[in-house]
C-alpha cells in the first residue's frame, strides 16, 4: 500500500509539474495528466491495496499510452527500468533495447555526460534537478533539445530508489524562437546600420568620396555579401560608372569600371522600370543573365540584389550586392534594407548637389566681392532708369576722389565730374547702356583739380522675358595707359630715328674706309715726292700742302668712323645679359602687334668687349629679324648661356658664352648668304 501511495504521489506531482510548465499548446498531455490525478485520488479511497495497485498500474498504462511525453524510469545507477512508447519514438530505441542500458550512454551526448551525472546525483539526494533543459542524442545521432521533469521515487524509509523522468521535445519550438530572435536581431542590426550611416558626418555633409566607401562596407557586412558596389549614370544615361566597389574578402575599394547600356540592355531596362533586382539565380534570371559569361562566372557570383538610386523620381544609379556560393533567396527584410541604402545614397547625392550649389554661390559672392574690391576699375550697378544705384565698388573713391555716398545719392550726379569738353558727348551716349554698345573714353576732374582719363563700358542685364532689369558697367582709369601709348609712340619714333642714323653710320663708315685707303696712297706718294724734291722749295711746299690736306682728310675720316662707331674700341668687362635686356626693352616698345618677343636670359655672363659695339650688333640682328617677320608675323627669341666663371688677371669671366637670336621669318635665301656682310648689299 505504501509503495502504491508513493507511486501515486510521485506521478501526481510529476503531472502537476507538467501542468505548470508545459506550454498550453500540449492540450492532450495536460488533459491526460489532470484526469489521471483525479482518477488516482478516487481509487485511493475506494479500493483496497491490491486492487488499488492493480488498477493504478492499468490506469498508468492507459494514460501514458496517449500522452505525448516520453516517460523514462531509471534506478539509482541510471539504468533504464521502464521506457514508454513515446520514449521509443523520441529517442529511436525500443523498450527492449533500452531496458538495462545506462541512460547516460543511451541518450546523453558524450560532452554532457559529466554534467548530467552531477544532476542525477542531486536527484538521488533530493537536492535539486527536478526541472532541466538539456541536449539529448537519438539512436541515429540526431541532436534534440528536451525539457525534463524529474521526480525521485522513495520507499517507506524515505530513501530514493528510482527516478521517473518525463521528456518533452522542444527542438522545433526552440528553433522557431531562435529564428525569430535572429530575425529581430537582424532587423535591429539593419536599423542600427541605417541610423549609423544617416547620422555620419560624411553623409550629413554630402562628402561623396568618403561616404560611398563607408556605405559599401556597412552594406556588405549587414547583408553578408562578398561584394557591394555603387554605380552612377553618366550624363547621357548610356553608361554606369563605378563610384566604389568594396570586396570584403580583400577589404579593397575599386573605382572606375564602366557598364554600357548597349552591352546589357535587359539589365538597364530593369533598372529603369523597377525598384530592385533580386536575382536568386543571377545566371538564369532574365534581368541579370547578360552578365553570366563575362562577370558572374569570373567572380563566382550566384545571386544579386541591386536597388536603384532615385533622385526626384529619376534613376541616377544603382547599389549592387553580390553573393558568392550557393544561390541565395533574398528575404523581404534584405530587399527593404538594400532599397533603404539606395535611398540613403540618393540623399548623399542631393546633399552634395546642394552643398556644391551653396559653395559655388559663396565662392561666386566671394569672387565678386574680391573682384569689385581689388580691381583697379570701378564696378557699378544701377536700375535701367538710372534712378537707383544698387552698387558701386570701393575703387570709386580712389579714382574719382569721392566717397560712395556721392554716387548712391544720385546715380547721375557723376556727370558733373566729367570734363566740360566731354560732358555733352557722354550725356548723349547714356541711352546706349541699354543696348550693350556703350564704350566711352572721357576725362573727369577730381576735387583736387587733377584730370584723369576714364574708359567706361556698360551692358544690360535681362530677365527670362528678355526685359532689362539692371545696367552693369565698369570704369577704368586709363590715364597711365594713354600716357604709355604716347610714350611708346615717342620711343618708336626715336627708334626709327636711331635706325636711320645707324644706316647712315654704316654708309658713312663704308665710305670712310674706302676714302681712307685713297688718302693712304696719296699721303704715301706725296711723302716720297717731298723726299726726292727736298731741294726744290717751290715743289716741296706744294707737296707739304698736299700732305696737310690729306692729314685734314684723315681727321675727317676719324670723325666719320667715330660717328659710325668704327673707330678703335676700348675693351672692358661687360655684363652681356644686361646689354641684351636693354636691347629687348627698346625693341618691345616698337614691336608690331603680330610679332612677339621671348627671352631666356637667366645666365649672368661677364665678358670683355666694347659695350657700344655689342649693343649695336644685337640691335642690328634683332632689327633684321623683325624686318623679316613684318608681313606674316612671328616670334623673336633670344637666349643666353655660358659655362662657369674663370679668373682672368683678377677678373672672373664666363667661358664659352653663347648668345642665340632666332626668328620665325622667311630667312635669308641660300644663294645670297655669302654676301650678308657686304655693307651696301641689299
CB 69 within 8 A of CB 18: yes
Q: Which of 84, 90, 78, 83 is nearest to 168 (CA)?
A: 90
Q: Which of 389, 378, 464, 449 is nearest to 419 (CA)?
A: 449
Q: Is the pLDDT of residue 487 over 90?
A: no
Q: Is the pLDDT of residue 192 over 70?
A: yes
Which residue's entry shows cell 574690391? 373
Q: How far apart are CA 8 and CA 40, in angstroms?
A: 7
pTM of the model: 0.42
Of the two residues 536 and 382, the one the predictor is more confident about is 382
Give the rounded percent of residues in the chain with a pLDDT score beyond 90: 24
Residue 319: per-residue pLDDT = 94
| Least trusted range by pLDDT, from 118-127, 238-247, 334-343 | 118-127
Tell me 485's DSSP state.
H
pLDDT tens-place string over residues 20-68 = 444 434 444 444 454 454 444 444 444 444 454 445 445 555 555 556 7
Cβ-based neighbour number of residue 337 at 10 Å:
25
Q: How far apart are CA 376 and CA 359, in angstroms?
A: 27
Q: How far apart are CA 408 and CA 383, in angstroms?
A: 12
Residue 66: per-residue pLDDT = 59
Residue 374: per-residue pLDDT = 64
Q: Which of 65, 58, 67 is nearest to 32 (CA)?
A: 67
pLDDT tens-place string over residues 444-457 = 999 999 999 999 99
CB 89 within 8 A of CB 138: no
pLDDT tens-place string over residues 373-400 = 666 788 888 999 988 988 888 888 888 9
Q: Is the pLDDT of residue 583 over 50?
A: yes
Read off the pLDDT of each residue in 174-196 and give the average, rounded to a whole number. Answer: 81
Q: How far apart are CA 288 and CA 280, in angstroms?
A: 10
Grid coordinates belonging to 226: 562578398
CB neighbour class for 441 (10 Å; exposed up to 12, middle 13-18, buried from 19): middle
Grid coordinates belonging to 111: 560532452
Read off the pLDDT of each residue in 433-440 and give the average, rounded to a whole number. Answer: 90
Give the rounded percent of residues in the chain with a pLDDT score beyond 70: 81
Confidence of residue 17 (pLDDT cuts 50, 70, 90): very low
Which residue's entry shows cell 550693350? 436
Long-range residue pairs from 452-456, CB within 8 A, at least 24 positions apart, any chain: 452/399, 452/477, 452/479, 453/477, 453/478, 453/479, 453/482, 454/399, 454/478, 456/426
Q: Is the pLDDT of residue 517 over 50?
A: yes
CB 293 within 8 A of CB 277: no
- Three-state SS for 339? helix
Which helix (H) or strand (E) segment holds residue 531: the answer is helix 479-532
Long-range residue pairs from 621-625, CB within 8 A, at least 24 positions apart, any chain: 621/661, 622/583, 622/587, 622/661, 623/499, 625/661, 625/663, 625/665
Read off the pLDDT of each residue in 182-201 and give the average, rounded to a whole number. Answer: 83
Please state, rounded to an integer, the average pLDDT across all residues of the chain: 80
Annotate 69-103 with b (16+ C-beta within 10 A) or e (fewer).
bbbbbbeeebbbebbbebbbebbbbeeeebeeeeb
Q: How far apart are CA 515 and CA 480, in angstroms?
A: 51
Q: At what angle do helices 332-374 and 208-223 cross, to 10 degrees?
A: 170
CB neighbour class for 190 (10 Å; exposed up to 12, middle 13-18, buried from 19): buried
pLDDT tens-place string over residues 618-677 = 877 888 888 888 888 899 999 988 776 666 565 677 778 888 999 998 888 888 876 676
CB 412 within 8 A of CB 404: no
Residue 373: per-residue pLDDT = 67
Q: How far apart are CA 659 and CA 607, in angstroms?
A: 12
Tell me 660's DSSP state.
E
Residue 18: per-residue pLDDT = 45
How big is the chain, counted in residues? 682
Q: Which of 221, 231, 361 is nearest to 291 (CA)?
A: 231
Residue 286: per-residue pLDDT = 93
Residue 576: per-residue pLDDT = 86
Question: Between β-strands 131-137 and 595-600, what pairing exists: parallel, antiparallel or unpaired?
Answer: unpaired
Q: How far apart are CA 551 and CA 553, in angstroms?
A: 5
Q: What spatial distance separates the first Cα and last Cα of the chain, rounded to whole Å? A: 155
Residue 67: per-residue pLDDT = 65
CB 470 within 8 A of CB 461: yes
CB neighbour class for 589 (10 Å; exposed up to 12, middle 13-18, buried from 19): middle
Q: Per-residue DSSP letters for 60-85?
A: HHHHHTT-SSEEEEEETTSBEEEE-H
Radius of gyration of the chain (CA): 56
Tell me 293's DSSP state.
I
pLDDT tens-place string over residues 403-414 = 888 888 888 888
Q: Which of 434, 435, 478 is nearest to 456 (CA)?
A: 478
Q: How far apart are CA 186 and CA 199, in angstroms?
A: 20
Q: How far apart are CA 333 and CA 324, in angstroms?
A: 20
Which helix (H) or strand (E) segment holds residue 562: the answer is helix 537-563
Residue 57: per-residue pLDDT = 47
Q: Which of 162, 160, 135, 131 is nearest to 146 (CA)?
A: 135
CB 638 within 8 A of CB 587: no
Q: Per-residue DSSP letters for 314-327?
A: EEEEEEEEEEESS-
pLDDT tens-place string over residues 260-280 = 999 999 999 999 888 889 999
pLDDT tens-place string over residues 274-297 = 888 999 999 999 999 999 988 899
SS (H, E, C) 397-442: HHHHCCCHHHHHHCCCHHHHHECHHHHHHHHHHHHHHHCCCEEEEE
Q: How far apart are CA 265 and CA 272, in angstroms?
A: 11
CB neighbour class for 332 (10 Å; exposed up to 12, middle 13-18, buried from 19): exposed
Read off the pLDDT of each residue in 201-206 and give the average, rounded to a whole number. Answer: 87
The percent of the chain in helix, strand and coil, each rounded to the nearest 5, is: 50, 25, 25
- Three-state SS for 472? strand
Amino acid at each position: 500500500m505504501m509503495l502504491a501511495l508513493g507511486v501515486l504521489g510521485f506521478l501526481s506531482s510529476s503531472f502537476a509539474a507538467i501542468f505548470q510548465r508545459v506550454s498550453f499548446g500540449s492540450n492532450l498531455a495536460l488533459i491526460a495528466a489532470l484526469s489521471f490525478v483525479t482518477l488516482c485520488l478516487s481509487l485511493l479511497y475506494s479500493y483496497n491495496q491490491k486492487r488499488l495497485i492493480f488498477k493504478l498500474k492499468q490506469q498508468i498504462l492507459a494514460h501514458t499510452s496517449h500522452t505525448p511525453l516520453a516517460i523514462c524510469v531509471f534506478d539509482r545507477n541510471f539504468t533504464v527500468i521502464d521506457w514508454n512508447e513515446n520514449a521509443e519514438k523520441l529517442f529511436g530505441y525500443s523498450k527492449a533495447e533500452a531496458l538495462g542500458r545506462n541512460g547516460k550512454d543511451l541518450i546523453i551526448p558524450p560532452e554532457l555526460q559529466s554534467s548530467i551525472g552531477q544532476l542525477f546525483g542531486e536527484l538521488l539526494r533530493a537536492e535539486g534537478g527536478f526541472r532541466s533543459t538539456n541536449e539529448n542524442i537519438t539512436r541515429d545521432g540526431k541532436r534534440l533539445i528536451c525539457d525534463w521533469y524529474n521526480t525521485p521515487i522513495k520507499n517507506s524509509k524515505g530513501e530514493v530508489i528510482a527516478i521517473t523522468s518525463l521528456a518533452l521535445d522542444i527542438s522545433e519550438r526552440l528553433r522557431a524562437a531562435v529564428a525569430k530572435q535572429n530575425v529581430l536581431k537582424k532587423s535591429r542590426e539593419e536599423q542600427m546600420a541605417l541610423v549609423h550611416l544617416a547620422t555620419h558626418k560624411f553623409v550629413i555633409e554630402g562628402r561623396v568620396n568618403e561616404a560611398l566607401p563607408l556605405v559599401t562596407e556597412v552594406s556588405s557586412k549587414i547583408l553578408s555579401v562578398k561584394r557591394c558596389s555603387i554605380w552612377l549614370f553618366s550624363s547621357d544615361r548610356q553608361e554606369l560608372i563605378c563610384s566604389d566597389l568594396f570586396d570584403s574578402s580583400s577589404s579593397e575599394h575599386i573605382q572606375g569600371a564602366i557598364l554600357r547600356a548597349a552591352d546589357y540592355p535587359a539589365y538597364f531596362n530593369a533598372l529603369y522600370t523597377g525598384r530592385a533586382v533580386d536575382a536568386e539565380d543571377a545566371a538564369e534570371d532574365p534581368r541579370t543573365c547578360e552578365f553570366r559569361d563575362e562577370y558572374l562566372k569570373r567572380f563566382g557570383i550566384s545571386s544579386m540584389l541591386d536597388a536603384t538610386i532615385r533622385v526626384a523620381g529619376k534613376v541616377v544609379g544603382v547599389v549592387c550586392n553580390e553573393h558568392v556560393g550557393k544561390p541565395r533567396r533574398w528575404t523581404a527584410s534584405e530587399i527593404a534594407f538594400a532599397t533603404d541604402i539606395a535611398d540613403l545614397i540618393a540623399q548623399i547625392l542631393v546633399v552634395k548637389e546642394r552643398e556644391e550649389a551653396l559653395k559655388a554661390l559663396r565662392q561666386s559672392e566671394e569672387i565678386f566681392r574680391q573682384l569689385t574690391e581689388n580691381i583697379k576699375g570701378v564696378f557699378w550697378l544701377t536700375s535701367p532708369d538710372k534712378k537707383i544705384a544698387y552698387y558701386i565698388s570701393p575703387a570709386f573713391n580712389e579714382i574719382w576722389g569721392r566717397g560712395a555716398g556721392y554716387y548712391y545719392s544720385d546715380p547721375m550726379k557723376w556727370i558733373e565730374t566729367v570734363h566740360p569738353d566731354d560732358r555733352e558727348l557722354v550725356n548723349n551716349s547714356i541711352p546706349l547702356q541699354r543696348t550693350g554698345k556703350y564704350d566711352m573714353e572721357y576725362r573727369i576732374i577730381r576735387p583736387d583739380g587733377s584730370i584723369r582719363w576714364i574708359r567706361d563700358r556698360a551692358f544690360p542685364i535681362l530677365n527670362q522675358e528678355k526685359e532689362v532689369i539692371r545696367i552693369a558697367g565698369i570704369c577704368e582709369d586709363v590715364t597711365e595707359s594713354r600716357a604709355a601709348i604716347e610714350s611708346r609712340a615717342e620711343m618708336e619714333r626715336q627708334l626709327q630715328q636711331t635706325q636711320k642714323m645707324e644706316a647712315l653710320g654704316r654708309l658713312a663708315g663704308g665710305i670712310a674706309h674706302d676714302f681712307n685707303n685713297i688718302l693712304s696712297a696719296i699721303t704715301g706718294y706725296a711723302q716720297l715726292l717731298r723726299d726726292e724734291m727736298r731741294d726744290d722749295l717751290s715743289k716741296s711746299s706744294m707737296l707739304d700742302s698736299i700732305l696737310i690736306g690729306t692729314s685734314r682728310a684723315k681727321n675727317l675720316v676719324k670723325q666719320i668712323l667715330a660717328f659710325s662707331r668704327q673707330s678703335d674700341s676700348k675693351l672692358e668687362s661687360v655684363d652681356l645679359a644686361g646689354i641684351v635686356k636693354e636691347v629687348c626693352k627698346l625693341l618691345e616698345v616698337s614691336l608690331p602687334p603680330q610679332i612677339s618677343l621671348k627671352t631666356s636670359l637667366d645666365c649672368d655672363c661677364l665678358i670683355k668687349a666694347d659695350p657700344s659695339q655689342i649693343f649695336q650688333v644685337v640691335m642690328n640682328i634683332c632689327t633684321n629679324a623683325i624686318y623679316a617677320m613684318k608681313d606674316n608675323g612671328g616670334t623673336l627669341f633670344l637666349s643666353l648661356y655660358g659655362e662657369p666663371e674663370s679668373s682672368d688677371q683678377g677678373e672672373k669671366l664666363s667661358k664659352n658664352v653663347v648668345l642665340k637670336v632666332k626668328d620665325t621669318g622667311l630667312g635669308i635665301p641660300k644663294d645670297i648668304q655669302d654676301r650678308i656682310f657686304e655693307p651696301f648689299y641689299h
